[in-house]
Amino acid sequence: MFSMDSSQLSEDFWQNWEKLCVVPPLRFALVNLNLPYDIAQFAQVVLATTRGVPHIATYLVGETLDFMQPKVRSKIISWNIREENIRSLPRKKTTLEELKGEGFRLIGTSPNEGVNALEFEWGVRDVVVIGGAKGLSRKNLDLLDGVVRIPCAPEVPFLTTPTVVPILAYPELQKRGLWRGIDISGF
């Protein structure tokens, strides 16, 4: 498995990691996500997309916890995932402003507004922006280029990050061909 730790978050790492991806990766910006269990479950989805390397990039914005934070790391390890695999998770501490400056299109998630996320045409330069328990600030919202919502019953006021991520990630990675041509029975 491709290995790195939080001290290796250089541009060289990102360029080398992306070259190893078999399809264009998905990108998620987690804004002020500081609940260890939510971060751990997010990491599990990222690791599940591994074909040589994980195919989800994570941008840690604001007070978002790193995967190696002790409570997060401990939870992930409790699921029989090795620490070296946690270290391999592609992640970068940044801001939404920096992502915009690098030419990324920022697409926010909302429980009740925006276009249907399952019908949205995702581009390779799109970054899904997910806010923590308090959502996104007005400043963050002003930086968004668009908003998507995941269809759900009116009785459900919102979906948690660990629920949103696989709903968005798996269909798009399938569409990009991540699992095309491989036997997933032993995956």
**Where do the domains of the chain lie, and which CATH numbers do they carry?**
6-179 (3.40.1280.10)
* DSSP secondary structure code for residue 135 in this structure: B
CA distances from 69 to 6, 66, 83 (A): 10, 5, 12
Chain CA centroid to CA 86, Å: 14
pLDDT of 11 reads 66
* Torsion of Cα atoms, 172 then 167 then 122 then 115, to 10°: 150
pLDDT of 185 reads 62
Give the DSSP letter string of 16-60. HHHHH-SSPPEEEEEES---HHHHHHHHHHHHHT-BSB-SEEEEE
Structural element, H or E, at residue 118: none
> Are 90 and 14 contacting, i.e. CB atoms less than 8 angstroms apart?
yes
* Torsion of Cα atoms, 84 then 89 then 90 then 94, to 10°: -110
pLDDT of 5 reads 44
- Six-digit token pair at 131? 């806010």
- Render each residue's pLDDT in the chain as its tens digit; 187 residues: 444 444 445 667 777 888 889 999 999 999 999 999 999 999 999 999 988 889 999 999 999 999 999 999 999 999 999 999 998 899 999 999 999 999 999 999 987 789 999 999 999 999 999 998 777 888 999 999 999 998 888 888 888 899 999 999 999 999 999 988 776 665 5
pTM score, two decimals?
A: 0.89
Question: How wide is the angle at C-alpha 80 spanned by C-alphas 78 and 84, nearest 5°?
Answer: 100
pLDDT of 146 reads 95
> Are 66 and 43 contacting, i.e. CB atoms less than 8 angstroms apart?
no
Strand partners, 56: 26
